[in-house]
Structure 1
Amino acid sequence: MDSSTNLSLATAQRFARHAATHADDDGALLAAVVAAVRAAGVHMLARFDAQTRTPDDLQGVVAAIHANDDASLAVARELLMAARPNAGWVDDELEGGALSGGEWWVFDPVEGNVNHVHGLPAWGVSATLVRDNVPVLTAVHEPVAGRLYTAVRGSGAAYVNGVPMRPSTKTELKAAIVTTGQARPGETPETHRRLGESITSMLNAALVVRMTVPATFELGMVAAGQIEGFWQYSDVRSGLAAGALLVSEAGGVVTDTRGRPWTLASEDFLASAPGVHGEAVRALSPVA
């Protein structure tokens, strides 16, 4: 590791020790989480090369992804566990569904890892504390763009680089940019069908439809008012838990695609600016 990584690790370790001695202090814990994702981000940035071209076969791509995960985990896991020693740990970014009770770290070592290994800039590191299946605190670091998203449940605010975010004030879906994405490789044909039908429906209802990964960055843009909506046919926790907290604390709306309250057990997901949420639900509801 270079000197900047060592400095980041030293800072992160100090914050982790402080957070562990102030277990009920969300401010201290958030500082520790920010330090951990920053430290991992610095380390992964040193491994990133925009000129990278991955191996030609799937086996080589998967091996590169796993190597990245291991490198990020080697930096962040110890720091997060030191800050919240009794929390459980989830680092499989493709896992979904509800967790057992208590506190869990939902950690994505390299969110958008497929982008990192292809030399694309849209990747980052995210850590979310989930308590009794409710996301309560998150930090998302996007190293190439230099963005840091943070939120604490109940604060009524979410931030990008320390600046409060607010969702778009648009009230017409036909004036809106909306986005979706493939949650994981190897989805079922049924999920592919729903995704395809939903894109067609949104193309008929919205101004522009985009499809990209990772989910958390799209949800950060919903929270910041840069786009108006994001939906996904998935229960993958890592991107949705962080993004749902960012959007909801910023003042956006988070439900499933039918407009029902979203939980980690939900099969699908919709987050949007308040003024277009009803139209977005109507556009997606016919997709059975």
Structure 2
Amino acid sequence: MNVFAVSPSVNAETAELDAVLERTVTAVKAAGALLRERHDVGARPGDLDEVVRAIHANDEAVLALIKQPLLTARPGSRWAEDELASGLLPAGEWWVVDTAEGNINHIHGMGEWGVTATLVRDNAPLLTVVHLPLTGDTYTAVQGGGALLNGESLRTSAKTDLRAALVGTGQAKPGEDEEALRRMGASVTAMLINALVVRVSVPATMQLIHVAAGHMDAFWQFSDVRSGLLPGALLVSEAGGTVTDTRGEPWTLASSDFLASAPGLHNRTVEVLSELG
């Protein structure tokens, strides 16, 4: 179920968006190359101050490289400054970018990180690019044009039995509301009872690309951090998956939580999550 309606005006500008996508891929790959140069498998930050400094250093370095090329790729677009922000954006076109998605993994010498860029119009994603510098993989989607990995089509899982499902969730950011964290813990327990295996990891995008590719079957998060959800929302939707909130209502940037799943598992996943209240 594609929850993002494709209007005739969007269909009419497919070629234009494809050109923007090409420029976006170039910019995101360049940013990824820089982030790869900054990656140290031996990194072991020693305290919170060191962690914060390393995170900010990565963000600042990549931002200086990627911001202007993306704004130039789409004249008239604006930049969403706070990558941890939530909620609706003003009308118009905006770039929602995570300069180091999985930054906490990067600065600890681990491998689950990348760079993402999503162009949003009137709060609906038009196109997205997710690049993983360590593998060279690039995930792309344009609204109404399908989801791709390195140019090959993606398709979500065909599973229909939650008892056979690999599902996942994770923390959106440090300092989340305690109620949301308790709800997350309860949801993990509920899924451990009802699903086959549960992954709890960060960042969200690294799980959502697996849902889009059919390697995982569902991902949920009790958060509305837009930069962590928009890329995966478009990829999963364009790969034939279902994207809603945890109660099964259409997901938007105004939603307080998020669920992306294989279509055959969606109803049962909503049932389990809805029981949490």
TM-score range, shorter chain: over 0.9
Deviation, structure 1 residue 24 = 6.9
Identity of aligned residues (%): 58
Provide closer, same or farther for how the CA distance between residues 53 and 93 of structure 1 changes in structure 2, counting only shifts above 3 A. Answer: same
The whole-number CA distance in structure 2 between the counterparts of 1:216 and 1:128 is 12
User: Residue 121 of structure 1 aligns with which residue?
Assistant: 111
The correspondence for 1:131, drawn from 121, 127, 134, is 121
User: Residue 185 of structure 1 aligns with which residue?
Assistant: 174
The answer on whether the counterparts of 1:91 and 1:109 sit within 8 Å (CA) in structure 2 is no
| 1:25 maps onto 2:10 in alignment | no
**CA deviation string 1:231-278 (max 9, x = no partner):** 000000012111100000010000000000000110000000011111
Deviation, structure 1 residue 67 = 0.3
What SS is found at the alignment partner of 1:25? helix
Mark the runs of 5 or more structure 2 residues left unpaired by the alignment: 1-12
The answer on whether the counterparts of 1:105 and 1:128 sit within 8 Å (CA) in structure 2 is yes
Look up the equivalent residue of 1:39 and give its one-letter code: A
What SS is found at the alignment partner of 2:59? helix
Look up the equivalent residue of 2:171 and give its one-letter code: Q
User: Residue 280 of structure 1 aligns with which residue?
Assistant: 269
User: Residue 216 of structure 1 aligns with which residue?
Assistant: 205
The whole-number CA distance in structure 2 between the counterparts of 1:142 and 1:91 is 22
The whole-number CA distance in structure 1 between the counterparts of 2:110 and 2:246 is 30
Provide closer, same or farther for how the CA distance between residues 91 and 142 of structure 1 changes in structure 2, counting only shifts above 3 A. Answer: farther
User: Residue 11 of structure 1 aligns with which residue?
Assistant: none
User: Residue 35 of structure 2 aligns with which residue?
Assistant: 44
The correspondence for 1:175, drawn from 164, 181, 198, is 164
The correspondence for 2:67, drawn from 77, 95, 111, is 77
The whole-number CA distance in structure 1 between the counterparts of 2:61 and 2:276 is 40
| 1:145 maps onto 2:135 in alignment | yes
What SS is found at the alignment partner of 2:70? helix
The whole-number CA distance in structure 1 between the counterparts of 2:14 and 2:263 is 34
What SS is found at the alignment partner of 1:140? strand
The whole-number CA distance in structure 2 between the counterparts of 1:109 and 1:23 is 26
The whole-number CA distance in structure 2 between the counterparts of 1:201 and 1:282 is 11
**1:209-248 equivalence runs, <5 A:** 209-248=198-237
TM-score w.r.t. the length of structure 1 is: 0.90
| 1:35 maps onto 2:26 in alignment | yes
The whole-number CA distance in structure 2 between the counterparts of 1:146 and 1:217 is 14
User: Residue 7 of structure 2 aligns with which residue?
Assistant: none
User: Residue 263 of structure 1 aligns with which residue?
Assistant: 252
Mark the runs of 5 or more structure 1 residues left unpaired by the alignment: 1-21
TM-score w.r.t. the length of structure 2 is: 0.94
User: Residue 155 of structure 2 aligns with which residue?
Assistant: 166
The whole-number CA distance in structure 2 between the counterparts of 1:95 and 1:199 is 25
When structure 1 is superposed on structure 2, of 140-149 and 267-276 the one drifting more is: 140-149
| 1:90 maps onto 2:68 in alignment | no
RMSD, aligned α-carbons: 1.2
User: Residue 102 of structure 2 aligns with which residue?
Assistant: 112
The answer on whether the counterparts of 1:91 and 1:108 sit within 8 Å (CA) in structure 2 is no
More relative contact order, 1 or 2 (CA 8 Å, 6+ apart): 2
